Amino acid sequence: MDSHRSIHCKTPIPHPQITAMFHIIRTIDFCYGHRLFNYEGKCRHLHGHNGRVEITLASEVTDRRGMVLDFTDIKRMAGQWIEDNLDHRMILYQLDPAVPVLQQLGEPLYLLDVNPTAENLAKLIFEKSQSFGFPVLEVKMWETPRCCAVYRSGSA
Ligand SMILES: [Zn+2]
């Protein structure tokens, strides 16, 4: 019975509204070291990456200049924060036993309450970008040219 009804039904099938949006992407490169805690692979040892972060902002409208945000402002705020806090630092889990040793040597560290994976770095930079008031859609954290983690807003 249901199959007959669907064949003859004239009511349009509802579908989600597709909203066109502007997206802008600012890429920021930085170098960092880390190691993963409680992990068996190669990344359990201290090592470094040439990381690349892509910050994507989204908006349905532009400002009077025709911009979602000036690329320069993303660089000036998020880029500067990355340069001051993450660039050329060891990014480590706060309970990693390497932390006190490296601190004693005066090495610059950035400590997280989670493992310093690409996923958690993407989330960190996403939340930091939001704190600058940016309409962040997603942050992609490229740990290598082939490995990327994405942290994306759930609303879009
Ligand atoms: Zn690594």
Residue-wise pLDDT tens digits, 99-124: 999 999 999 999 999 999 999 999 99
Using DSSP, state whether 83 is helix, strand or coil.
Answer: helix
Q: Within a domain: residue 134? A: yes
Catalytic residue IDs: 43, 88, 143
Ligand 1 center from residue 1 Cα (angstroms): 58
pLDDT: which is higher, 9 or 45: 45
Q: Within a domain: residue 113? A: yes
d(CA 156, CA 154): 6
Ligand 1 center from residue 101 Cα (angstroms): 20
d(CA 56, CA 74): 10
Percent of the chain predicted with pLDDT > 90: 79
Q: Within a domain: residue 112? A: yes
pTM: 0.85
Q: How many residues in total does the chain contain? A: 156
| Average pLDDT estimate for 9-32 | 82
Residue-wise pLDDT tens digits, 119-130: 999 999 999 999
d(CA 66, CA 94): 43
Whether the predicted pLDDT of 13 surpasses 80: no
Q: Within a domain: residue 50? A: yes
Tally of domains within the chain: 1
Ligand 1 center from residue 100 Cα (angstroms): 20
Show the tokens assigned to 145: 């040219």
If we measure between CA atoms, which residue out of 62, 35, 55 comes closest to residue 122? 55
Ligand 1 center from residue 9 Cα (angstroms): 56
